[in-house]
């Protein structure tokens, strides 16, 4: 490695581009390992470099080292090193993680990503969509179908040649899963490898989970920094927030909101608390199995029977975050304490017009909806047609006891002038919205925040 090629300089350039990464990158130290059979590798504590796999000129080496450094950091922040689905072949998981990390890096700093990887993602994306590319678990089914379903009829080896530039042999997951690492780019036990063996993988994972949580919850980390000439630097980190926000469960505030929407009603269940056992058993014993009193087949409960969810499908909203929100909704719908069964849930997709309206009456319906989720729209943002649709459902008596209207959005858009005839909550996954653009009658829920806010009248 020549004197002019400096890993410290590579880090400094990346700091200037993405200032949110200063603290996470400080948790990774650089080591040289000439036995490595790839340009670099990472174990969650160290990044190992082999200069012989980088371009011979120092300018080219630095140009490749910068995206590789970002790539290794994204593996750590999204927990790729520490988990793997049960029964998944290591080669498939390894490649899925590489594709996911490169996709996130491309959204953050497209100018850094090698042209071959950019082209590979462009060909692979039509099969999966942007939403799936943030999560390796959602990429796996497409890899298992290779080569038949490959966008360019490539086989698995060809895809690995495009995306798998680094070695994954030192990932802790191979030890915790008692699995051999992928053999395509194995690394030797070179310099610095012994020191990391003594460290507890669980403690390393805990560190990255904490950093992940800080990145997904801090607005200051993701606000652009401006130079003296007014040019924005450090942009692109919203994609990093999107990638790391998917993992932590944000259920506590959402659950509390749904409980506040609950209403009293009759539930068709045997009311064991008010069941008169004595005459019932007497009839069974003395009248040939004929009970004298039938059990009460209903009881009073406070739950949600009817709910409307409006999904912002304009071009500014992410399909990935929409899926994450719906998955949280599904998890809560499955809790018997929150929803009557059956229930009436309308999911309305809207950009400048209502794109689709789906009726969901059971957890199974919602699961099927998410499994085959198709986002329609990608135009402007006008919520008035969606609210008109809800009003029409009320007038037609399809909604007779509507608990509330949830609007999942990034905030921008046109809202009705008057308050709807139901409680309305705007749901955000972060605090990057302008309150001045929101209707005065709406409540605001920031998932992962501490409370539900309400605009002043």
Q: What would the pLDDT profile of 175-234 be if each residue is shown by its tens digit?
A: 776 667 775 444 344 444 444 444 678 889 999 988 887 776 554 444 444 444 443 333
In this predicted structure, the answer to whether residue 129 has a pLDDT above a threshold of 50 is yes
Residue 282 makes CB contacts below 8 A (sequence gap 6+) with 292
- Across the strands, what pairs with 148? none
Q: What is the dihedral of CA 211, 213, 216, 220, to 10 degrees?
A: -60
Higher pLDDT, 275 or 257: 257
Biggest alpha carbon–alpha carbon distance for the chain: 99
* Apex 208 CA angle, 202 and 211, nearest 5: 145
Q: In whole angstroms, give the CA distance from residue 287 to residue 278.
A: 14
Nearest to 398 by CA among 456, 451, 343: 343
Residue 274 has a pLDDT of: 61
Q: In whole angstroms, give the CA distance from residue 18 to residue 384.
A: 38
Confidence class of residue 389 from pLDDT cuts 50, 70 and 90? very high
| Structure tokens, 384 | 């008035």
Domain 252-266+303-454 CATH class label: alpha beta
Q: Which region among 73-82, 131-140, 143-152, 400-409 has the lowest average model confidence (pLDDT)?
A: 143-152
Hey, how many other C-beta atoms are within 10 angstroms of the C-beta on 176?
14
Confidence class of residue 45 from pLDDT cuts 50, 70 and 90? very high
Residue 244 has a pLDDT of: 58
CA distances for 147 relative to 117, 138, 183, 187, 273, angstroms: 18, 17, 20, 27, 60
Residue 117 makes CB contacts below 8 A (sequence gap 6+) with 102, 106, 162, 163
Q: In whole angstroms, give the CA distance from residue 115 to residue 107.
A: 14
Q: Which region among 88-92, 136-140, 194-198 has the lowest average model confidence (pLDDT)?
A: 194-198
Parallel/antiparallel/unpaired status of strands 29-32 and 46-49:
parallel
- Decide if 235 contacts 222 (C-beta within 8 A): no
Q: Which region among 158-162, 235-239, 335-339, 416-420 has the lowest average model confidence (pLDDT)?
A: 235-239
Residue 238 has a pLDDT of: 55
Local structure of residue 436 (DSSP, 8 states): G
Nearest to 103 by CA among 253, 239, 301: 239
Average pLDDT for residues 47-66, to the nearest whole number?
86
Q: In whole angstroms, give the CA distance from residue 22 to residue 386.
A: 42
Residue 411 has a pLDDT of: 76
Average pLDDT for residues 68-72, to the nearest whole number?
96
- Across the strands, what pairs with 306? 344, 402
- Give residue limits of the domains in the chain: 7-245, 252-266+303-454
List alpha helices for 44-114, DSSP H.
58-77, 90-108
End-to-end CA distance of the chain: 65
Residue 185 has a pLDDT of: 44
The mean pLDDT of the chain is 79
Higher pLDDT, 455 or 430: 430
Residue 190 has a pLDDT of: 44
Q: In whole angstroms, give the CA distance from residue 363 to residue 86.
A: 25
Residue 166 has a pLDDT of: 95
Average pLDDT for residues 400-409, to the nearest whole number?
94
Q: In whole angstroms, give the CA distance from residue 44 to residue 72.
A: 9
Q: What are the tens digits of pLDDT across the range 281-297?
A: 877 888 877 776 655 56
Residue 5 has a pLDDT of: 63
Residue 242 has a pLDDT of: 56
Confidence class of residue 360 from pLDDT cuts 50, 70 and 90? very high
Q: What are the tens digits of pLDDT across the range 149-158?
A: 554 345 678 8
Burial of 207 (0-12, 13-18, 19+ CB in 10 A): middle
Q: Tokens 């650089």 appear where?
A: 30
Average pLDDT for residues 155-173, to the nearest whole number?
89
Confidence class of residue 40 from pLDDT cuts 50, 70 and 90? very high
Q: Tokens 């080591």 appear where?
A: 31
Nearest to 71 by CA among 319, 196, 191, 243: 243
Query: Phi then psi for 257, rounded to 5 degrees?
Result: -65, -45
Helix (H, G, I), strand (E, B) or coil at 342: strand
Burial of 33 (0-12, 13-18, 19+ CB in 10 A): buried
């Amino acid at each position: 490695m020549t004197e002019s090629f400096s890993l410290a300089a590579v880090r400094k350039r990346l700091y200037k581009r993405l200032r949110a990464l200063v603290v996470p990158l400080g948790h990774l130290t650089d080591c040289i390992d000439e036995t490595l059979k790839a340009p670099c590798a990472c174990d969650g504590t160290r990044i190992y470099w082999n200069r012989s796999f980088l371009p011979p000129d120092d300018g080219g080496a630095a140009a490749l080292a910068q995206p590789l450094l970002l790539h290794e950091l994204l593996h750590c922040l999204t927990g790729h090193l520490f988990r793997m689905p049960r029964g998944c072949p290591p080669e498939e998981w390894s490649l899925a993680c590489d594709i996911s990390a490169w996709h996130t890096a491309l959204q953050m700093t497209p100018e850094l990503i090698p042209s071959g990887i950019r082209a590979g993602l462009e060909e692979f994306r039509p099969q999966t969509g942007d939403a799936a590319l943030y999560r390796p678990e959602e990429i796996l089914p497409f890899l298992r179908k290779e080569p038949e379903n490959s966008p360019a009829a490539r086989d698995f080896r060809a895809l690995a040649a495009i995306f798998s530039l680094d070695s994954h042999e030192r990932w802790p997951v191979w030890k915790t899963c008692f699995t051999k690492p992928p053999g395509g780019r194995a690394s030797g036990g070179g310099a610095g490898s012994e020191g990391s063996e003594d460290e507890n993988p669980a403690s390393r994972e805990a560190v990255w989970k904490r950093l992940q949580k800080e990145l997904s919850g801090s607005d200051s980390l993701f606000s652009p920094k401006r130079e003296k000439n007014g040019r924005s630097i450090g942009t692109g980190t919203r994609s990093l927030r999107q990638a790391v926000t998917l993992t932590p469960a944000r259920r506590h505030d959402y659950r509390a909101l749904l409980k506040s929407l609950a209403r009293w009603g009759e539930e068709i269940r045997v009311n064991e608390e008010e069941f008169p056992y004595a005459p019932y058993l007497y009839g069974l014993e003395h009248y040939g199995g004929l009970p004298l009193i039938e059990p009460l087949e209903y009881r009073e409960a406070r739950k949600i029977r009817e709910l409307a969810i409006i999904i912002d499908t304009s071009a500014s909203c992410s399909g990935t975050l929409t899926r994450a929100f719906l998955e949280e909704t599904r998890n809560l719908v499955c809790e018997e304490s929150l929803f009557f069964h059956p229930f009436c849930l309308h999911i309305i997709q809207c950009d400048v017009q209502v794109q689709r309206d789906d009726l969901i009456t059971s957890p199974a319906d919602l699961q099927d909806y998410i499994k085959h989720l198709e986002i329609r729209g990608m135009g402007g943002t006008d919520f008035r047609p969606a609210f008109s649709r809800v009003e029409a459902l009320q007038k037609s008596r399809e909604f007779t006891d509507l608990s509330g209207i949830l609007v999942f959005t990034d905030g921008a858009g046109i809202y009705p002038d008057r308050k709807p005839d139901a409680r309305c909550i705007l749901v955000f996954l972060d605090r990057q919205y302008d309150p001045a653009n929101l209707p005065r009658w709406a409540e605001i829920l920031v998932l992962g925040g501490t409370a539900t806010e309400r605009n002043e009248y």
